[in-house]
Amino acid sequence: MHFAHSAKLLIAWRIFLYITLKFYYNFVQYYCTFELVLEILKIKPMNLFTKLAFSSALALGVFSCAKPGCTDPNAVNYSASAKKDDYSCVYKEKLIFWQNLATSQLVQNAGITGLYIYVDGQLVGSTLATNYWTGQPSCEQSGNVNTEIDMGSLDSKLIEYEIKDNNGNVLVSDFYIMTAGDCNFIQM
């Protein structure tokens, strides 16, 4: 009689563990945050036994949780340990303005001695008309003028830029789409 009762308890325990572990697996896959676990454990209708079983199952694999964070390697706050994108990525990219010899000579022949670069209405830098590059600079180089564009949570951003001469006359007014993870160049 005692053996039959023990066998029933063992079967019931195995069923309970199977259900608990199945629940745990699904929970971790879709809702794994420590704050949510704590909230679930505070639920009043849960009895002590259920809380202990749930806590035990959770403790077996709490470190396998999909850690939330920014999963885009182009973002400033990229986290290699993040396995679940939480849409917190933020982007900043370098924008390089440069001119070649032909442009330099063209503006000098027009009597222009300096160029002033504005992005979204803000002065970001200036250069002498005599300064030029023989080819497009690399991302590591500064060009004639460079600035960092805060793109917020967008991985691309439309900016407006203007190039003015030393008298404040607008020489160029245009738009440019900044792209995260790319070198962003504007040839003057």
How big is the chain, counted in residues? Answer: 188
Residues 105 and 181 placed together within one structural domain of the fold: yes
Confidence of residue 123 (pLDDT cuts 50, 70, 90): very high
pTM, rounded to two decimals? 0.62
Q: Which two tokens stand for residue 75?
A: 């973002």
Would you say residue 80 lies in a domain? no
Tens of pLDDT, residue by residue over 83-113, are 887 888 888 888 999 999 999 999 999 999 9
Check which CATH number belongs to the domain holding 108 and give it.
2.60.40
The whole-number pLDDT of residue 187 equals: 92
Q: Where is pLDDT greater, at 52 or 116?
A: 116
Provide the domain count of the chain. 2
Distances (CA, A) of 154 to 14, 149, 160: 50, 11, 16
Residues 34 and 95 placed together within one structural domain of the fold: no
The values of phi and psi at residue 162, to 5°, are -135, 145
> Of 19-23, 155-159, 165-169, which one has max mean pLDDT?
165-169
Residues 51 and 7 placed together within one structural domain of the fold: yes
The whole-number pLDDT of residue 15 equals: 75
